[in-house]
Amino acid sequence: MVAVDTRRTIDSDPEPEEADTSILDVDELQNLGINAADIQKLRAAGIYAISTVLSTTRRNLLKVKGLSEVKVDKIKEAAGKLINVGFISATEQAHNRRRVIAISTGSKQLDSVLGGGIKTMSITEVFGEYRCGKTQLAHTLCVTTQLPKDLGGAEGKVTYIDTEGTFRPERLRDIAERFGVDADQVCDNISYARALNSEHQMELIEKLGSTFADGSYRLLIVDSIMAQFRVDYCGRGELNERQQKLNQMLGRLNRLAEEYNVAVFMTNQVQSDPGASALFAAADGRKPVGGHVLAHASATRIMLRKGRGEERVAKLQDSPDMPEREATYCIGEGGIQDVA
């Protein structure tokens, strides 16, 4: 068991140099001549950060109630003065990427395959058959994200979007005990929502700009990304529309990850498809649902399956910076852990 001094979790004041000060609030636009009423309109539309102003197309900004073409141009111009979105040197980009934090999965072997754990600023997807530990991994990350950085944490809060009704706060208590942290504090630092359908899921995600604006969140869980879409869109006739909506949601998730230095962790189901493309299918012919849209949105894809006895196997299938490798882990009272 890892002993953690609870005074070092995020309830205590973080060291000043540890705080993520990179999030620029839309209020900064006031210094560049944008009036408070127009800034309020941006907020009402879920745009809280300068980086969101820049990542939102002019076309979509024009949909914000009360913003004319002239105003949108002025806002874009002002935002462009605050953050450089043009070319920078690779050295500067390397500096930007130093903000990325790897959050421990609870298993050292799995962390090592992932290059330290689940990374902030991008989307990680785990998929696999039932009972292989996707939801247990999500619960374990809820706790490890709150740990001090030198113990594999990110000293941050967590948002959990539950689409299947499988979130269990009592599991968090067991996991908190394993890591020696205060369970009440752990639960207080998690904001939870049950997504009732795919539209509601999108609404919840669209509101996250205001939640993340203070820079204290480091993990967003969506368990599972596809469940509601599979219910709401049936048959081939609705597939195009489903994929379009899914693409929009994933685009939003990707921007949230980058703009607020948050790790987006989503679980996914598998379906049998003997004719599946070798690129996406597991060895047994099962493949994650969501098609190419999902495959391209996830920077890191991990396939989970059952191994010998109680062992589970995680295979890194896609990663921008790590080779394809496997790790074994198991599920215990205290969450995901190494095989003894």
Ligand X SMILES: Nc1ncnc2c1ncn2[C@@H]1O[C@H](COP(=O)(O)OP(=O)(O)OP(=O)(O)O)[C@@H](O)[C@H]1O
Count of residues near ligand X by CB under 6 A: 13
Binding test (CB under 6 A) with ligand X, winner from 47, 64, 114, 132: 132
CA distance 208 to 220: 9
Q: How far apart are alpha carbons 258 and 201 in whole angstroms?
A: 20
136 binds ligand X (CB under 6 A): yes
Kindly tell me which of 67 and 192 has the beta carbon lying closer to ligand X: 192
Nearer to ligand X, 136 or 144 (CB): 136
Site for ligand X in 278-307 (CB under 6 A): none
Nearer to ligand X, 154 or 314 (CB): 314
Taking the complex as a whole, the smallest distance from the CB of residue 162 to ligand X amounts, in Å, to: 11
Query: Which positions from 196 through 225 interact with ligand X, judged by CB under 6 A?
Result: none
123 vs 314, which CB is nearer to ligand X?
314
Interface with ligand X, residue 131, by CB under 6 A: yes
Q: Tokens in use for 17? A: 């140099």
**DSSP codes, 22-36:** ---BGGGGGGGT--H
Number of H helices, E strands in the chain: 14, 13
Q: C-beta of 69: minimal distance to ligand X in Å?
A: 47
Six-digit token string for 90: 């690779």
Please state the closest distance from residue 134 (CB atom) to ligand X, in A.
4
* Region near ligand X per CB under 6 A, out of 30-38, 74-82, 84-92, 325-333: 325-333
- CB 148 within 8 Å of CB 9: yes
| C-alpha 101, offset from chain centre | 12
User: According to the binding rule CB under 6 A, does residue 331 interact with ligand X?
Assistant: yes
From CA 336, how far away is CA 137, in angstroms rounded?
Answer: 6
Determine if 133 is a binding residue for ligand X (CB under 6 A): yes
Is there a contact between 195 and 204 (Cβ–Cβ < 8 Å)?
yes
| Residues from 164 through 183 that contact ligand X (CB under 6 A) | 166, 174
Structure tokens at 196: 């009732």
Token digits of residue 150: 């030198």
Stretch that binds ligand X, among 8-16, 54-62, 125-133, 154-162 (CB under 6 A): 125-133
Nearer to ligand X, 126 or 297 (CB): 126
Nearest-approach distance from CB 113 to ligand X, in angstroms? 18
Contact segment (CB under 6 A) with ligand X among 54-62, 79-87, 123-131, 275-283 equals: 123-131
Minimum distance from residue 212 beta carbon to ligand X (Å)? 25
**Alpha-carbon span 330 to 336, nearest angstrom:** 6
How many angstroms separate the most distant Cα atoms in the chain?
65
Number of other CB atoms surrounding residue 234 within 10 Å: 10
**Residue 51 vs 124, nearer CB to ligand X:** 124
Hey, what are 213's tokens? 């604006």
CB of 339 to ligand X, least distance (A): 13
For 293, half-sphere exposure in the C-beta direction (CA atoms, 13 angstrom radius) is 17
- Which residue stretch of 128-136, 198-206, 253-261, 288-296 sits at the interface with ligand X (rule: CB under 6 A)? 128-136
The interaxial angle of helices 36-44 and 69-82, nearest 10 deg, is 90
| Residue 332 binds ligand X, judged by CB under 6 A | yes
Q: Which of 246, 318, 311, 309 is nearest to 282 (CA)?
A: 318
CB of residue 126 to ligand X, shortest distance in Å: 8
**Chain residues that interact with ligand X, rule: CB under 6 A:** 128, 130-136, 166, 174, 331-333
